[in-house]
Every structure is written in C-alpha cells, then in structure tokens.
Structure 1
Amino acid sequence: MARHADGCSRSTSARDQHSRRLQGQAGFTLVEVIVVLSIMGLIMALVGPRVLGYLTDSKEKMARIQVETLSNATELFFIDNGRYPLEPEGLQALLAAPASLPTWRGPYLKGTAVPADPWGRPYRYSSKDRGRSYIISMEGASDKDEGSAPKRLSSARPQGGGREGSY
C-alpha cells in the first residue's frame, strides 16, 4: 500500500480499477446522441405545425371578436349621438368625448386605448356621409406572419340600415 502526503493509505490497484470502470461509462456514444436528436426532430416536425395552426386560428378568432366588439361599441355610440363617429374622430371617439357631442355618454370601450389587432397593427376606421355609415377594417397577417389568417377583415354599416359585415 502506498502512503500519501495526507496520511491516508490507498491501494493503487483499487484506484486503477475504479478509473477503468469510469472510462467505460463516461457518456453517450455518438450513435445514441444522433438517434435521440432524430427522434426529437421527428416529434417536432409532427407536432410543430399543429401548434402553429392553433396559434394562427386563435389570432384570427381574436381579430373577429375585436372587430365585433368595436362594431358593437360604434352602434352604442350611434344610439346615444344619432350618428357614428366621423372619420377625423375615429375609434378614439369611443373612448373620449369629441368636443362637438354634448350627448356623449361613453366611454363605449373598456380600457384607455383602442386595441391593436392580434398582429400588433391598428384597426382602421372610415366614415362617410357625415356619420351615417362606417367601416372598421384591418390588414390581418402579413406574409411574414405565420399562418393563413385573413388578409382583410372588416365590419360595415351601410347608410341604408341594418349592419352588414364580412367576418
């Protein structure tokens, strides 16, 4: 037995046996790593498109709900004021009273700002005929965005009466 500086005696043959045992169990082989990575890649290839599809569907549904909410708020504005917001007032008129409207009873939307669409872009508002009709629209997903969300989504109330929309 060999004596070490720390005063402990160790068998050199036991140490050699222990290090030989560790050399055989040092890690995974290259083949094992490649097999595991291949399986993980296959799983991601199968599951990934489904997950992205769910995200795209949920963004599209959210956009439809937001356009419907903005349209409903615009209808409430019409009930109180006898007209829809004018184009210069825009959707902001649903949150803060335009100076020309003493009958404004809003806000007609919750929150402090008009929501952006699920892709982060603002909704567009246009009004013709001195507030007797309106169109709320959005661009939808761009070519850079994932999925196939609608390129355009709008809600309109024509001058003649009932609400019409293309959701």
Structure 2
Amino acid sequence: MTGDREQDIRRVRDQQTVLYGAPLGDLIARLAEDYGLSRGRLASILGLSAPMLSQLASGRRIKIGNPSAVQRMQRLLEVAPDVRAGRIAAADAVARIESERPGSVLTRATDRLPRQGALDVQLVLRWASSAEDLGRAAELLSADFPALAEVLRVYGTGSAADAEAHFEQVRPR
C-alpha cells in the first residue's frame, strides 16, 4: 500500500510540474523561505486554507482551484528575485501583492501586460549582462542617448516595481 501512495504522490507532483513549472511543494517551500513566511501565513496571502495548502504541497491534491490564488502565487514568484536580492523588502512585497485587486480570469491578460512586458525586458537585459555592467553602460550612454540609458538603469538595475511603472508610463496605448 505504501508503494501505491508514493506512486500517486509522484504522479501528482509530475502533473503539478506540467501545470506550474515545478511541484507545488517546492514552490511553496521556496516562497516561504524567500519571504520568511510560515505556511499558514502563505496560505492566507494566497487565499487558501492552511489544510488545502498542505494537501497541495504534500501531493495529495493536484491543482489550485482558485484562479485568484494562482495569480497571487505567480506575483509572489515574480517578485521573489527582487526580495532575495534585497531590492524590495519582503513585507513590502507581500503588502503590495495583498493590496492588488484580484483580476478575473477573463481580464487577466490585460492586467498582466505591463507587468509581463517589464519582466520580459528585465529578463533579456539581465541575461545579457550583470546589473553592475548595465549601470556602467547607462553612464556611458547618458550624455548622448539619455532614453536608452534610462532603460538600462530602470530595467537592468532597478526593481520589478520600477520596471513595471516605467513600462506602464512609456508603452503605447
């Protein structure tokens, strides 16, 4: 019987990886560590009960049924690199995510456009070079190409929140 249960858990974790990119137990543990949260507090932030979060983490449940909880988890995962790097305090990030209006499933893409666009630009720049090098490049370009220097500074060395605000400001409507 124990072998069957272990097989079931392995199957659930595999399905979670397909749905979320990693088993939920791993994502939950990473978020709790990154933000310094208990599982109970993390469940509260996500809008789940602590027992449900436990069942998801242990592989007894496959997926999160609440789309708003999935969105909040995604936001926590998006901001986590800035929290780990010290660019934003964990408590500030959590407060900001808790204050965001949960979008409906139908309008999710529109709500995410500035956030995703900014994150995509950040990912490309940070793949290309270190924050220190991007800052130095911005300094070199600032006299002749101030707008490009600003992009390098904001997206290359700034926080996700700074990038989102800039992206929202400059994107065509």
Task: Please classify the TM superposition score into its range, dividing by the shorter chain length.
Answer: under 0.3
Max radius of gyration: which structure?
Answer: 1
Higher helix proportion: 2
Higher strand proportion: 1
Normalising to structure 2: TM-score of the pair?
Answer: 0.19
Normalising to structure 1: TM-score of the pair?
Answer: 0.20
